[in-house]
Amino acid sequence: MRTILVIDDDPLARLHLERFLKREGHAILLATNGQEGVTLFRSKAPDLILMDVMMPIMNGYEATRQIRAESSGDAMPPVIFLTGVEDQEQLAECLRCGGDDFISKPINHIILQARLNAWLRRVELAEKIARDREAIENVILKMRKDDRFDTQSLRFLMTPVDKTTGDLVLSARDESGIHYLMLGDFTGHGLAAAVCGPLVSDVFYNMIQHRSSSLDILNKINEKIHDRLPVDMFLTACFLALDRQAKRMIVYNAGMHPLLLYRNNTWISGPESAQMPLGIIKDISYKDAVSYLDVQENDLIYLYSDGVYETQSPDGAFFGVENLCNALPEIAHMAKPLDAIHESLTQFRGDAFQRDDITLVELKV
C-alpha cells in the first residue's frame, strides 16, 4: 500500500479520486489547495502526489516548487499534475516547476492507473537503491574505522555532505615516536569518493607499522591510487611527519591549501602545494616537493579541506583563510569546541546547502 496525496480544490474531483485510489489499495491524503498540500507533504511524507493546477490561496505550480525545494535525495515523491488546461505553455510549466508528469482532465481511469503504476514502480526502485546505498555506506564506515588510528594530541571535525565522506583523516605513530598525520580529499564527495578511503588507509597504517619512510609511504599511496582507481579519481592531500623530540616536521602538500600553525597568538602559514594531487601520474619526484618546518612545544597545527575554505556566502564570497584564522583562536584556547567552526560556516553560508565535505584537524605539538 502506498500513500498518495491528492491536492485539488474541486470536492467532486477529490471524491472520485479518493474512491478510485482506495479501490486500488492506497492510503489517501486530501488537500483543498496548494498551501494545505505543502503542509501535508511536510507532516506525512506521501509516496506520490496528484496535483491540480488552478487552486485558491496557492496554485499547483507554487506548491510544487515549495515541495521540490524541501525535497532531497530519497524523499522526493513524484508529482503528477491533473489539469484541464490545454495551453502548451501552461502544460510545459507543469514540468518546469518540478512536476514529473501530467494527465489531462477529464481523467481516464485506465490512463491514470497505468501512470500511477509506472511512477510507483520508480518509487520502489528508488527505495531499493536507497536500501542498497545504506548497506554499502555502513560497510564503508566500518572499513574506514581502524584501531591503529592515534588520537593523542589530536582533535578533528568531519561533516560530510552525505552519510559517508570523501575526506580522509589518518593518524599513527611509529616505534620511534614519529607522529604521521594525513588529511586527504578525494575527487567529489559521497559514496564514490568514500569508497576509495580504505585503499589509502591500509597502505598508510601497514607501511608505518613496518617503519617505512615518509617518501615511501607517499609513493605507495600514489601508486595504488593510480593503478587501482579510475583516471578521474585522485587525492589532494597534506601529509605530516612530526618529530616532537627534534622539534621538526616534514610537510608534503599535494594540492591542499597551506596548513596553519598557531604559536603565541600568531598565525604561521605552512608551505604552498608543490605537487599535483596523488594518483594523477604514477611516477612523482617527491624530493623537491617536501618541506621542513621547525615547531615548538604547544604549537597547534590546523589542516582543513576545501569544504572549509570554499564555503560560500549568499553573495558568492569564500569563507577563506582570513575568516578561518578569526574563528580558530577561541578554539585554540579551548574556549569553544572544535565543532564551533561548523557553526561559523553555517552562519556564513546562510540558507544555502552545504556543497562539499567539511574537515578540520587540529594537532598539538
Last residue of a domain, one of 89, 106, 137: 137
- Rounded to whole angstroms, how far apart are CA atoms 199 and 311? 28
3 state DSSP class of 273: coil
Phi, psi of 323 (to 5 degrees): -65, -35
* End-of-domain residue from the set 113, 137, 161: 137
Q: Which among 137, 164, 182 is the end of a domain? A: 137
Structurally, the chain folds into a number of domains equal to: 2
Per-residue pLDDT of the chain (365 residues; tens, 9 = 90+): 899 999 999 999 999 999 999 999 999 999 999 999 999 999 999 999 999 999 999 999 999 999 998 886 567 899 999 988 778 888 899 999 999 999 988 889 999 999 999 999 999 888 887 776 666 556 555 655 677 888 889 998 888 777 666 788 899 999 999 999 999 988 866 666 677 788 888 899 999 988 899 989 999 999 999 998 888 889 999 999 999 999 999 999 999 999 999 999 999 999 999 888 999 988 877 777 889 999 999 999 999 998 898 899 988 899 999 999 999 999 988 878 888 998 899 899 987 777 888 889 999 99
C-alpha cell at position 96: 518546469
Domain check: are 59 and 175 in the same one? no
For residues 198 and 292, state if they share a domain.
Answer: yes
Report if pTM > 0.75.
no
Residues 102 and 157 reside in one and the same domain = no
Both 210 and 70 in one domain: the answer is no
- Indicate whether 358 and 291 sit together in one domain: yes
List the one residue out of 277, 278, 330, 341 whose CA is nearest residue 308.
341
- DSSP letter (8 states) at residue 164: S
The whole-angstrom distance between residue 305's C-alpha and the CA centroid of its chain comes to 13
How far apart are alpha carbons 240 and 233 in whole angstroms?
22
| Pair (99, 150) in one structural domain | no
298, 364 in Cβ contact below 8 A?
yes
Map grid coordinates 599513527 to a residue: 172
Please indicate, yes or no, whether residues 188 and 337 belong to a single structural domain of this protein: yes
Q: Which domain holds residue 115?
A: 3-137
- The candidate with the shortest Cα–Cα distance to 299, out of 245, 248, 263, 249, is 263
